[in-house]
Structure 1
């Protein structure tokens, strides 16, 4: 009996030692996690950059969340923007110089040919922020009460704003500006630039440094009420972007374009859907009835649609980043780009 107890104790002791050893072996230890990105060839990227430079319908989107610093150890919005997106408008502002997101943005610009633009509401607060306290050769300048002081004084302020924007874009290694112009829609304080003649003066001043008349590669984009721009000033735009949210058929798209048809070439016209709404990012937008193809998501309808006057400039989405949660990610964006510009098989 004593021998049996000794044998039992021996088994218990051995089991305890074994359990202790297993517990020690199974303690979690922090290990570096490799970030998994599909490596692509330089030939792929060269072809992608060539595609971006070719004559094609572009994909434009307002991406939020990129203004944060980002983190190499985390999943970042900027890491997953689809390769074939042409222009990213940085909703919420650009990332700080030297941050992970800024360095990634520069790599995407170089490697993929994607262009990034800053977006601003061009209201009174914007003018004050950009123009006030700026120094001219002889004095300081303020936009306060400029509406009654004549065009000469106003142009001084517009020049200050334009050169400040140019310097900011260049210093932050961006590709241009996107002005959100909604003086009669959003209820914001547009003040001075509600006057269409004064707004034309502002756009013409900007077009010395941005857009096709500037002799530079800097983009000049206006979204919202772009049709309030005069024909003379409109010639300086790179693109006009229509917030065609909730579109259900081609008639409304055509009527939107017709508001500026006298001066806006079709290839500069972009229509966009709202992906901040669940029906956008989850379903590709509300049901859209195409007269030939039938019912489809509105983003697809926009992709198939062209003005009767000619081929449009492209399509896009507001808060494009919301669609990343889909499975597969950016399913509507990727499919819409294929409709715009089918891949050669």
Structure 2
């Protein structure tokens, strides 16, 4: 075994394993979320401390990344709403629709998952959400001044939240503006403003920042919006949630592969486990089905997109990893079964 070889003592933990066949994710049976409630139980157990140390070592080693997006909630009776509820082996958790303030409970949840498990927690910055609100701040006469000020004000508030709340960086969605009322006049300035935002963030987070903070970009297939900032990112995320054919994934990869400095190990492809029906013909929710129907062989019987994307790799080399939107719903698949399988398949030496 390369880096996950730990034999867990049955004494104190009441866990029996055969040889080294268990992976990190099997340890989730310890209900790590209880660390927020009683630090004198698992955290003071030496065997568990060894487990956590090896978990952090694994995450700092070179391996295939697995990340998830969640709408972060407070602790509930269902163990899928907090950061510590998610599988231990996740590398990144990105917070959808993040608040710029945190309750004491969430601050403790954040600190615990970062310190104990080595999980990196990111602020999800969806630039699409800015567009309609920005349009209301300007007219053609005062366009440049007002929009410039609005962008800067929102950007400053995001940076303040990331730094003051202790996030490990930012995950930026740049899939293009979605302003229904803006018109072509607004779109003329799209690339310039996105470039400025990414340039600002790239000096604070990511490989050019000389910090340990991360900068990820979603929508890297919209390559024109990355003009001049292509090398600022730790990972490039191709949003493949709605893809049903391998040629679509291949085309997305071909676009991203043209980005200067891009390497395959920086590519993350995604699936969606939202709580909505798969289609009019399939009543299962996305999380039940495992994504959407994906056709791997012509018009034959489809397989879940999470399985198809897990099996996909560039023609040369391996992808950097996978991401799951609304990963918390996988809890209902017998405690994150699909996520755990993805982790173990991408990192087989972890078994």
Name the TM-score, length of structure 1 as normaliser.
0.72
Distance 2:90 2:97 in 1: 19
Counterpart of 1:306 in structure 2 is 313
* Aligned with residue 274 of structure 1, among 267, 272, 275: 272
Indicate if the aligned counterparts of 1:304 and 1:340 stay in contact, CA closer than 8 A.
no
2:236 is the counterpart of 1:235: no
Specify the SS of the correspondent of 2:203.
Answer: coil
Indicate if the aligned counterparts of 1:94 and 1:118 stay in contact, CA closer than 8 A.
no
Distance 2:188 2:217 in 1: 13
Distance 1:147 1:257 in 2: 40
Residues 26-77 of structure 1: CA distance to partner in whole angstroms, max 9, x if unpaired?
Answer: xxxxxxxxx972646111111111111111111121112x1x4436x77451
Flag structure 1 segments of 5+ consecutive residues without an equivalent. Answer: 1-34, 133-141
Counterparts in 2 of 1:218 and 1:125: CA distance versus 1, 3 Å: same
2:55 is the counterpart of 1:48: yes
Q: Which has the larger radius of gyration?
A: 1
Specify the SS of the correspondent of 2:238.
Answer: strand
Indicate if the aligned counterparts of 2:120 and 2:168 stay in contact, CA closer than 8 A.
yes
* Aligned with residue 191 of structure 2, among 183, 189, 196: 196
Indicate if the aligned counterparts of 1:183 and 1:189 stay in contact, CA closer than 8 A.
no
Superposed displacement of residue 265, structure 1:
2.5
Counterpart of 2:171 in structure 1 is 178
Distance 2:268 2:230 in 1: 15
After superposing the two structures, state which structure 1 stretch, 98-107 or 80-89, moved more. 98-107
Counterpart of 2:348 in structure 1 is 342
Describe how 1:129-140 pairs up with structure 2 within 5 A. none
Residues 290-312 of structure 1: CA distance to partner in whole angstroms, max 9, x if unpaired?
Answer: 57xx9643212212211224322
Flag structure 2 segments of 5+ consecutive residues without an equivalent. Answer: 1-28, 33-41, 279-285
Indicate if the aligned counterparts of 1:211 and 1:219 stay in contact, CA closer than 8 A.
yes
Indicate if the aligned counterparts of 1:124 and 1:192 stay in contact, CA closer than 8 A.
no
Indicate if the aligned counterparts of 1:273 and 1:316 stay in contact, CA closer than 8 A.
yes
Counterparts in 2 of 1:187 and 1:212: CA distance versus 1, 3 Å: farther
Indicate if the aligned counterparts of 2:265 and 2:318 stay in contact, CA closer than 8 A.
yes
Residues 221-254 of structure 1: CA distance to partner in whole angstroms, max 9, x if unpaired?
Answer: 2213543333531111222222212433432211
Specify the SS of the correspondent of 2:338.
Answer: helix
Specify the SS of the correspondent of 1:334.
Answer: helix
Describe how 1:22-101 pairs up with structure 2 within 5 A. 37=31, 39=42, 41-64=48-71, 66=72, 68-70=73-75, 75=79, 77-78=81-82, 79-94=84-99, 96-101=101-106
Superposed displacement of residue 333, structure 1:
0.9
Indicate if the aligned counterparts of 1:300 and 1:339 stay in contact, CA closer than 8 A.
no
Superposed displacement of residue 195, structure 1:
2.2
Specify the SS of the correspondent of 2:167.
Answer: coil
Distance 1:332 1:203 in 2: 33
2:268 is the counterpart of 1:265: no
Superposed displacement of residue 212, structure 1:
1.0
Counterparts in 2 of 1:51 and 1:194: CA distance versus 1, 3 Å: farther
Counterpart of 1:103 in structure 2 is 108
Say how many residue pairs are matched.
Answer: 292
Residues 202-232 of structure 1: CA distance to partner in whole angstroms, max 9, x if unpaired?
Answer: 2112211121111112222221354333353
